[in-house]
């Protein structure tokens, strides 16, 4: 036979449990704690996507600007080309997590329109300028641009975009990111013809 005291204790336990489950005073804090991580993830993804899109536009702008500056000249020297490429790389600012590579190649299409040969070429990799493809090397151009006896300037810009959340190796490991998202390739290629002359020569290339 259950004693009265035991019955009262059991009733008290159920009463306190009932009050605990029916209490709604902390529900907002619990919901906030559950939703906050999702909101933070969405915020960082939105921020990263907008920065990546803007950087991709700037990579494209590098190619067009560099090609335009070169084709406005009638002749250049290595110092001119290297300076133009460095100007192009500055357009990426304030992005500074990786350096773009820029290659400028002057191309002469043969008299029969079957071959495209390198006349001169310079490249900028990690901020250091150096020769590109060797002269007389055969290269490829779009079929629509392979017009006999024409001169082309090709500007190629490439960037390994590094997201903010994968900027350093330690952060990448801590966040559990895969290498697939630690370096996103962005590139653009432009072909332009000389503006003021038949060809753009380089005196010391």
Domain that holds residue 61: 32-202
Residue 101 lies in a domain: yes
**C-beta separation of 74 from 197 below 8 A:** yes
Q: How far is CA 18 from CA 4, 22, 29, 69, in A?
A: 21, 6, 20, 78
Q: What is the pLDDT of residue 181?
A: 56
Residue 17 lies in a domain: no
Give the C-alpha separation, 131 to 108, whole Å. Answer: 18
Give the C-alpha separation, 56 to 53, whole Å. Answer: 5
Q: Residue 31 in 3-state DSSP? A: helix
Residue 21 lies in a domain: no
Residue 85 lies in a domain: yes
Q: What is the pLDDT of residue 32?
A: 75
Q: What is the pLDDT of residue 176?
A: 42
Residue 187 lies in a domain: yes
**C-beta separation of 60 from 188 below 8 A:** yes
Structure tokens at 189: 């290629």
Q: What is the pLDDT of residue 173?
A: 45
Each as own residue / partner, the long-range contacts of residues 57-60 (CB below 8 Å, 24 or more positions apart, any chain) are 58/91, 58/92, 58/95, 59/92, 59/100, 59/157, 59/158, 59/159, 59/186, 59/187, 59/188, 60/157, 60/188
DSSP 34-55: HHHHHHHHHHHHHHHHHHHHHH
**Residue 155 CA to its chain's centroid (Å):** 17
- The reply to whether omega before 94 is within 30° of 0 (cis) is yes
Residue 177 lies in a domain: yes
**C-beta separation of 161 from 49 below 8 A:** no
Residue 10 lies in a domain: no
The total number of structural domains in the chain stands at 1
Residue 178 lies in a domain: yes
pTM for the full predicted model = 0.73
Q: What is the pLDDT of residue 39?
A: 84
Query: Closest by alpha carbon to 55, among 161, 133, 140?
Result: 161
Which residue stretches of the chain have pLDDT < 70? 1-27, 165-182
């Amino acid at each position: 036979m259950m004693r009265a005291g035991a019955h009262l204790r059991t009733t008290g336990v159920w009463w306190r449990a009932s009050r605990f489950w029916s209490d709604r005073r902390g529900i907002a804090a619990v919901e906030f704690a559950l939703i906050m991580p999702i909101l933070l993830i969405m915020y960082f993804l939105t921020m990263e996507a907008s920065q990546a899109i803007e950087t991709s536009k700037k990579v494209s702008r590098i190619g067009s600007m560099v090609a335009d500056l070169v084709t406005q000249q009638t002749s250049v020297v290595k110092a001119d080309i290297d300076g133009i490429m460095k100007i192009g790389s500055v357009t990426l600012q304030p992005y500074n997590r990786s350096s773009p590579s820029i290659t400028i190649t002057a191309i002469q299409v043969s008299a029969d329109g079957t071959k495209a040969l390198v006349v001169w070429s310079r490249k900028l990799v990690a901020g250091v300028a150096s020769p590109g493809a060797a002269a007389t090397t055969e290269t490829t151009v779009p079929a629509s641009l392979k017009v006999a006896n024409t001169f082309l300037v090709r500007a190629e810009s490439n960037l390994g975009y590094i997201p903010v959340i994968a900027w350093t190796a330690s952060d990448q490991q801590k966040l559990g990111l895969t290498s697939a998202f630690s370096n996103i390739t962005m590139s653009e290629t432009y072909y332009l013809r000389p503006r003021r002359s038949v060809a753009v020569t380089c005196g010391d290339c």
